Structure 1
Amino acid sequence: MKNTQVLLRNRPTGEPSETDFEVVETEIPSPGPGQVLVRAHFLSLDPYMRGRMSDAKSYAKPVALGEVMEGATVGEVVESNDPRFGEGDLVAGSKGWQRFSVADGDALRKVDTGIAPLSTYTGLLGMPGLTAWVGLEDIGQPKPGETVVVSAASGAVGQVAGQIAKARGARVIGVAGGQAKCDFVVKELCFDACLDHRGDLDAQLDKACPDGIDVYWENVGGKTQHAVFPRFRDFGRMVMCGMISQYNTAPGADTSKAEPGPNLGAVVRKRLRIQGFIVFDTGWQRYGRFLAEMDGMIRAGQLKWKEDVVEGLERAPRAFIGLLRGENFGKLVVKI
């Protein structure tokens, strides 16, 4: 048996193409002292990976050309030189777009499929879910009776953020693209309403949020942010999680025709809090608290999820391109 890997071959300008990646077959690595050989079952595809394809300065190192694309996986231990792990143990870690990988034992954590299926540790119980929890704990802090708006509400982070806010007593309004996604957000995730950003978003927000907005979970930027911003109530909070509408904008591109940004004078007048965050800063140190709360919500029937599963590692590049276009419905996962 060989190892399958997806390498980064080019740094894309604007939208990535499948030629920016290369699928190769290599030898299966052997673990050294204190290391573990893992066979991945599922790979998480997430918007942040677009930033790793660029060599622009960021909070994390870019993927080097010719190296395996970065990404979180869940799988099983095949061989272990760490006494904490045995053959067959199910583990999560960040070892990239590949079937087999070697990891230090300290970089892995065992997962409990008695809480939820293995694949959820790439989404609901992995980095996206933890991101939702941290952003609300530290910045959004929704209170009972407040109105929370969540963009990309059917996506990996949005669906969890909205359900946590709902469990904490807030009135939650989602924003998504298309009737099918909006129906899912309301009927399955139990948001109070979901607005289709392809329609007249201003009119929809006026109807759904007549008294204004207290918390806005930002995943997309662009016209959704423009519509939400003037509707903030005093002391509103904007959780800056992502701006996927801008991820494929090439450096130096002509932005003269782009919509102007919101009038930030309102930040002072309304005493708004706008804060970005990176889950890797403090999130994993609190993973135990997060997992306990998610376990409780699942057992209480307060937490549901949807996955968009792609079969085969070789299809990961095309699926990732579709993710940046908004083609996925739910957490995008590759079944390896």
Structure 2
Amino acid sequence: MRIVVTGGAGFIGSALVRYLVRDVGADVLTIDKLTYAGNLESLKPIENAPNHRFLRADICLGEDIARAIEDFQPDRIMHLAAESHVDRSITGAGDFIKTNVFGTFNMLEASRQYWNKLDDQRKSEFRFLHVSTDEVYGSLGDEGLFTEETAYDPSSPYSASKAASDHLAVAWHRTYGLPVVLSNCSNNYGPYHFPEKLIPLMILNALDGKPLPVYGNGANIRDWLYVDDHAKALHLIASRGRLGEKYNVGGRNERRNIEVVETICAILDKLSPATGPHARLITYVADRPGHDARYAIDASKLEQELGWKAAENFDTGIEKTVKWYLENRWWWEPLRQNVYSGNRLGVV
């Protein structure tokens, strides 16, 4: 199995690449532009693997992408490359439209041109997986879950750009017959997560004795998914998902943001005690514009059709995550020093 993974040096992408290379044994070409969130150090565990190669390339450059696909001759393309931080999309929407919309168009076109040249057998086996987010669905009330039939209602420039890319992927399947499957995931967490995102930011700020900035009153609810569980789900969807269908991937772990922060503080109090409880550092800040109140995924379709189930619940996953950051300063310290200032709003 030869697989192209775009965005494979990012958080979710690198987890997927590590899984495909080490556990599945696939021959993987990782394509990544290496923007602020792309980090080759996240692929260090497989840096000497003979079944992995890396290409630095921009998905917005269609000819470069088409050439890379043609040279590698993949059986599958798993498209994760995207601008993904909501805060950054509020202050700089242009990059999100360019990468998430135009870049996805380039990926679909290059894949379609390559797929059309394959023989009948390889053509029937080829798959294009488009990886997206639950944020395209907008905000839930106090009850209910996002299903694959939930209407799109994006609130931020980020989620709007991802919604547009989802529609493009579906259109390329319906119009051109490209064998596309889609996935929409809830909030991921785990090792190698860029330090401006909520969970790693809280861990690292707490270790540094810095304020733990929480938007609004901290009541916003997210469904948390351990990243390694997500990687396994993506491989399963690409392998066995029905063409033209989408599959929601969620951990069934709803938590208010303030609960997440308090849990991290409690774990750090146990594993890395400070002069006082880490929760004393919690600081409430002005809410993010257009901040959705609640996300929650119904993963029944994925569980029932494909037999997937998350291995980690939030309590086990968050403790693993905190321990990883405590044990892997080599990965995150350069990012804190050279790239990221430690503010909640992630603008370099």
Give the TM-score taking structure 1 as reference length: 0.35
Structure with the larger strand share: 1
